[in-house]
């Protein structure tokens, strides 16, 4: 069911290092740029790719990813076009795990069954839908699992030991640990607490634990990689993209190199942590 994700995390465990999970918003600032980045990220060191499904009210995201969603929607990005990007990516990459991340409303409007069928056929490996709690598993989580897609749940510093089993019950692929309380990309986490937080999660699950929110630099990535199975970076990559755009918000010749260059730096940080261990 989660073959690509399972194979990737097994390979990372054999290598003795954490993975790098990179996030981009689909269609930001245009589909062609997103596709060029998707194709370039694995060679830049991304082990897993999260592709954001643009939404007009991304409540869990900080300003960088909110603006990315606005740019993508303004450029005409839709959920159908996001699935088209996945198909185009899979035409040349059959191995890199790709997870769609976003909110339930666009999926509900698209039609759950239709979305799951098309996502699976396109080559999506899993879903992160941040506004569906375990109490709503019948809405999307259980149908996704039945369709062969991992449903990846978020745990936070406020998810206590009483709540954790419910959060983890139907989680597959990996657990996404949100290292701060708040929205994405706004606060730097306390890296000393990451290891103990991951250890607490692992007392409840055998799944790999990826840690994100607030990781901006190679040094941050290296610090998180010491205690996690994977490091998730989103806002920093999205911000590197934004600052490369022209005055009208269009991609320039600097856009793809800026994002992939940062991904390379982050990957080097993750790998340095393994050598230092």
Q: How confident is the model at residue 277 (pLDDT cuts 50, 70, 90)?
A: low
Q: Any idea how long the chain is?
A: 277
| pLDDT of 184 strictly over 50 | no
| pLDDT of 9 strictly over 80 | yes
Q: How confident is the model at residue 183 (pLDDT cuts 50, 70, 90)?
A: very low
Q: Taking Cα atoms as reference points, which of 207, 167, 213 lies closest to residue 193? A: 213
8 Å CB contact between 126 and 91 = no
Q: How confident is the model at residue 275 (pLDDT cuts 50, 70, 90)?
A: low
Q: Please report the domains of the chain, with CATH numbers, ordered by start residue.
A: 3-276 (3.20.20.70)
Q: How confident is the model at residue 85 (pLDDT cuts 50, 70, 90)?
A: very high
Q: Taking Cα atoms as reference points, which of 86, 22, 73 lies closest to residue 241? A: 22
Cα–Cα distance, 102 to 48 (Å, whole number): 16
229-247: pLDDT as tens digits = 999 999 999 999 999 999 9
Reply yes or no: is the peptide bond before residue 196 cis, omega within 30 of 0. Answer: no
SS3 of residue 19 by DSSP? strand
Q: What is the model's pLDDT at position 99?
A: 98
Run of H or E including 194:
helix 191-202
Q: How confident is the model at residue 13 (pLDDT cuts 50, 70, 90)?
A: very high
Q: How confident is the model at residue 274 (pLDDT cuts 50, 70, 90)?
A: confident
- Active site residue ranges: 50, 61
Q: Report how far apart, in Å, the C-alpha atoms of 39 and of each of 48, 81, 204, 244 are.
A: 12, 16, 35, 19
8 Å CB contact between 52 and 78 = no
Q: How confident is the model at residue 118 (pLDDT cuts 50, 70, 90)?
A: very high
Tokens for 159? 């998810």
57-77: pLDDT as tens digits = 877 677 888 899 999 999 999
Largest CA distance in the chain: 50
| pLDDT of 215 strictly over 90 | no
SS3 of residue 127 by DSSP? strand
153-172: pLDDT as tens digits = 999 888 888 899 999 999 99
Strand order in the sheet with 154-155: 150-151, 126-129, 98-102, 48-52, 19-25, 230-233, 209-212, 175-178, 154-155
Residue 155 vs residue 179, higher pLDDT: 155
The sign of the torsion formed by the CA atoms of 69, 73, 79, 81 equals: negative
Instruction: Return the bridge partners of 23, or none.
Output: 50
Interior/surface letters 145-165, b for 16+ CB within 10 angstroms, e for the rest:
bebbbbbbbbbbeebeeeebe
Residue 150 vs residue 213, higher pLDDT: 150
Backbone angles phi, psi at 172, to 5 degrees: -145, 160
- For the segment 83-107, the average pLDDT, to the nearest whole number, is 97
| pLDDT of 189 strictly over 80 | no
Say what percent of the chain tops pLDDT 90: 78
């Amino acid at each position: 069911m989660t073959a690509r994700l399972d194979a990737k995390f097994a390979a990372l465990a054999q290598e003795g290092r954490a993975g790098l999970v990179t996030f981009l918003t689909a269609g930001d600032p245009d589909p062609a740029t997103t596709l060029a980045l998707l194709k370039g990220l694995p060679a830049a060191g991304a082990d897993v790719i999260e592709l954001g499904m643009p939404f007009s009210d991304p409540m869990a995201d900080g300003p960088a990813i909110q603006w990315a969603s606005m740019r993508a929607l303004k450029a005409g990005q839709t959920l159908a076009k996001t699935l088209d990007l996945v198909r185009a990516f899979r035409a040349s990459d059959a191995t890199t795990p790709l997870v769609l991340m976003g909110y339930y409303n666009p999926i509900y409007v698209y039609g759950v069954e239709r979305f799951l069928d098309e996502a699976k056929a396109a080559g999506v490996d899993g879903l992160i839908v941040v506004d569906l709690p375990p109490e709503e598993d019948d809405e999307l989580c259980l149908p996704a699992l039945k369709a062969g897609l991992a449903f990846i749940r978020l745990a936070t510093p406020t998810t206590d030991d009483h709540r954790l089993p419910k959060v983890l019950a139907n989680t597959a692929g990996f657990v996404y640990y949100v290292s701060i309380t708040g929205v994405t990309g706004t606060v730097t986490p306390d890296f000393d607490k990451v290891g103990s937080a991951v250890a607490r999660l692992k007392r409840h699950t055998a799944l790999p634990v990826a840690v994100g929110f607030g990781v901006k630099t190679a040094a941050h990535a290296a610090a998180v990689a010491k205690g996690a199975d994977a490091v998730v970076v989103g806002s920093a990559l999205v911000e590197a993209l934004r600052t490369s755009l022209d005055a009208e918000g269009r991609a320039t010749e600097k856009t793809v190199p800026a994002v992939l260059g940062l991904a390379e730096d982050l990957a080097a940080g993750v790998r340095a942590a393994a050598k230092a261990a």
